[in-house]
Amino acid sequence: MDQFIQEYLDFLIVEKGLAANSIASYAEDLSRFADFLEKNKISCLTRADTTVILAWLVHLTRKGLAPKSRARHLITIRGLYRFLVSQGHARTNPVTDVDIPKTGQSLPRIMSIPEVEALLGMIDTTRPKELRNAAMLEIMYGAGLRVSELIHLKLSDINLDANLVRVMGKGARERMVPIGSQAGKLARQWKDQARPLVLKKLTSQYLFVARGTNPMTRQGFWKIIKKYAAKAGISRNISPHTLRHSFATHLLEGGADLRSVQTMLGHADISTTQIYTHISRDYLLRMHEKYHPRR
């Protein structure tokens, strides 16, 4: 059982190019599934049938997992069995006829444009590390980056003459994204003036350094956003991904087409990007109700 799971994880790393965090999530889900099989006297993955898969879902429900989490587990083991069939280890996929638990469509949290401006306006850019923070926030909002993409940007990834960043996204997909003039201005100031002061004669390949030559951690950047959100008087929960969601929504509200937003976000499938159209539709309805003479 462990051998088959490890083969599948190796396949996801080598062939699919999944990130370390994704691999860790897959490994945890598959380990829990393997433990369930062993406790039910099933010694091999290929001996599990559809009845066993349904029992696994019941087990997850009794453990209190939400539909979204149960759906993730089911998708994980469906992919595992699809791999086993393709490699000749299993004859059939017992998950094929099992429906994914309905999760509903949760709309992402977004910030209004005034809230974004208030957040970005809270930073004292006369101090080196504050200038770094300002440049990071501007680039995240200006390019709609994931936090992992932002903190791992290298010096070679940014073109300040064209105000573009090269991003290595999920599945090792590379994309070029504009960052805007304000983000470019702050990034140049950080790179040329403040970054050497923070590094103190050390060298680093990373654009945004924290301690020593190391990039900032995800948790460190999350704390930065929380700090400035509190200063700006934004009481609700704001995360790094909130800026990415806001980037996409504000572009669509401003008239950008969905394909362009998909490209900038680095989504492999446009259906992932379409969730933002629901937010923009709500915005359009509010505007119609507010301004149309026959509302």
Q: Residue 295 and residue 279: Cα distance in Å, rounded?
A: 20
Query: What is the structure's pLDDT at 292?
Result: 55
- Binned at pLDDT 50, 70 and 90, residue 207 comes out as very high
Q: What residue ranges do the domains of the chain occupy?
A: 2-86, 113-290
Do residues 221 and 136 touch, judged by C-beta distance below 8 A? Answer: yes
- Binned at pLDDT 50, 70 and 90, residue 31 comes out as very high
pLDDT tens readout for residues 237-254: 888 888 988 998 888 878
CA count, 13 A, side-chain hemisphere, 140:
30
Amino acid at 180: G
The H or E element containing residue 81 is helix 67-86
Q: Residue 159 and residue 167: Cα distance in Å, rounded?
A: 12
Residue of 67 and 29 predicted with greater confidence: 29
What is 2-86's CATH topology? Answer: DNA polymerase; domain 1 (1.10.150)
Sheet with 174-178: list strands edge to edge.
Answer: 158-159, 164-168, 174-178
Q: Parallel, antiparallel, or unpaired for β 174-178 and 164-168?
A: antiparallel
Query: Does the pLDDT of residue 35 top 90, yes or no?
Result: yes
- Binned at pLDDT 50, 70 and 90, residue 286 comes out as low
Query: Does the pLDDT of residue 273 top 80, yes or no?
Result: no
Q: What is the mean pLDDT of the chain?
A: 86
Q: Which of 36-50, 97-111, 113-127, 131-145 has the lowest mean pLDDT?
A: 97-111
- Binned at pLDDT 50, 70 and 90, residue 281 comes out as low
The H or E element containing residue 104 is none
pTM (two decimals)? 0.63
The tokens describing 97, both together, are: 């006829």
Kindly list the distances between the CA atom of residue 4 and the CA atoms of 20, 22, 35, 43, 74, in Å, as whole numbers in the listed order.
Answer: 19, 18, 14, 12, 17
Q: Hunting for tokens 């259906």 — which residue is that?
A: 271
In CATH terms, the superfamily for domain 113-290 is: Intergrase catalytic core (1.10.443.10)
Burial group, residue 34, by CB count within 10 angstroms (0-12, 13-18, 19+): middle
Query: Does the pLDDT of residue 287 top 60, yes or no?
Result: no
Query: What is the structure's pLDDT at 7?
Result: 93
Q: Residue 214 and residue 219: Cα distance in Å, rounded?
A: 14
Query: What is the structure's pLDDT at 14?
Result: 87
pLDDT tens readout for residues 132-157: 999 999 999 999 999 999 999 999 99
Residues carrying an active site annotation = 146, 170, 241, 244, 267, 276
Query: Does the pLDDT of residue 294 top 70, yes or no?
Result: no
